[in-house]
DNA sequence: GTTACAAGGTCAGGGAAGGTCAAACTTCAG
DNA sequence: CTGAAGTTTGACCTTCCCTGACCTTGTAAC
């Protein structure tokens, strides 16, 4: 049941996998023509699927000879988790970003699907319904548990 | 005297039996049209008949080209876990007993060491310090998360 | 420099799914 | 006959996808 965005995502990932440089360069206009859609659809795909949490970095240049460059960031190193956690928990911990992060861990085979599912369970707000006071406290608790879970993954070498 | 829900249930089970992949994908709108009912009737059938206890797992995606996917799973694991959960959560949920349970799951190779450690992290009282009101609430929350984690492990197999 | 054009970016809105919930209706056991 | 459980419906919500109008930035020709 794939939709247009799924196809574009797949296309880009294939290109990326084929590339030896660790990044690809595309032209928005050209790509939108290939998939017969409006150019901004490409932005939608990029912003919904090629996020930092999922391990991608996107840069671009406007004007004549413009381009969009998509980098695949190095596979997650354990030491870098803390940094990413900082980002996820920047102002207020964001469960959605944590889920993205887990997805990436799955893709990189650092986290198993089952492990990811467990952690996702603790990120679901409805499990806390009626048991915790404020939103702030909820996010704080989720962050703590998430962090603890990551540490558990780190410690337990399978 | 079969009612609409029974027919829909039967239909889905037939599709599932025919499928070689272990799951089927349907569209709520389309199915509701086939049975000339409102879309939410499908949700009723799913939530009353395709539950985890009965050996089914349902996931879905919203938006354009959305879908509902139904997996057939082995309910045995769930049943035994659910029974144990009942025992563990008799009067008041006891984390220590849950940890014992995890240990056994580990030994029996049903749960990996890392998975067990993640779940144990969720059971540690100190992670909740200052964020949750009473002891009762704490135990309640731990139970919910523990149960969710067990379900996640079951789900993660698919 | 100024201007024309050629990129890419942003944002709001509409539409296409599926989800939730409560009210109304039916069925069934006692 | 009555109350509880199960079923059906419809109103309203959330999420995800896609489009188009309008904006910003870089390049190149003059």
Task: Give tens-digit pLDDT for B53-100.
Answer: 899 999 999 999 999 999 998 877 777 777 777 777 777 888 999 999
Q: What is the pLDDT of residue B23?
A: 96
CB contact under 8 A, A141 and B120: no
What does the alpha-carbon distance between residue B51 and residue B45 come to, in Å, rounded to a whole number? 10
* pTM of the entire predicted model: 0.85
Which positions on chain C have an atom < 7 Å from some protein CB? 5-12, 15-22, 27-28
How high is the pLDDT of residue B74?
Answer: 83
Asked whether residue B60, judged by its CB, lies under 7 Å from any atom of the DNA or RNA strand D, the reply is: no
Contact state of B118 with A119 under an 8 Å Cβ cutoff: yes
Greater pLDDT, A109 or A1? A109
pLDDT score, position B81: 78
Strand residues in chain B grouped as ranges (E): 23-26, 56-61, 67-72
Average pLDDT over residues A25-49: 98
Residue A79 has pLDDT above 60, yes or no: no
Please list every residue in chain A whose beta carbon sits closer than 8 Å to the beta carbon of residue B127: 141, 144-145, 148
Of B43, B22, B45, B41, nearest to B33 by C-alpha is: B41
> Among B121, B131, B129, which residue's Cα sits nearest to residue B98?
B121
């Amino acid at each position: 049941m794939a939709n247009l965005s799924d196809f574009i995502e797949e296309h880009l990932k294939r290109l990326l996998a084929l590339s030896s440089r660790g990044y690809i360069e595309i032209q928005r206009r050209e790509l939108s023509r290939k998939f017969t859609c409006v150019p901004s659809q490409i932005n939608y795909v990029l912003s919904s699927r090629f996020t930092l949490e999922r391990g991608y970095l996107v840069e671009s240049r406007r004007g004549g000879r413009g381009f969009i460059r998509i980098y695949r960031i190095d596979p997650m190193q354990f030491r870098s988790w803390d940094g990413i956690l900082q980002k996820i928990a920047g102002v207020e911990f964001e469960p959605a970003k944590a889920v993205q992060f887990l997805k990436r861990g799955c893709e990189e085979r650092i986290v198993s699907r089952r492990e990811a599912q467990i952690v996702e369970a603790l990120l679901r707000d409805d499990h806390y319904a009626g048991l915790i006071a404020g939103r702030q406290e909820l996010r704080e608790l989720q962050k703590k548990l998430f962090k603890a879970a990551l540490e558990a993954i780190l410690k337990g070498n399978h």
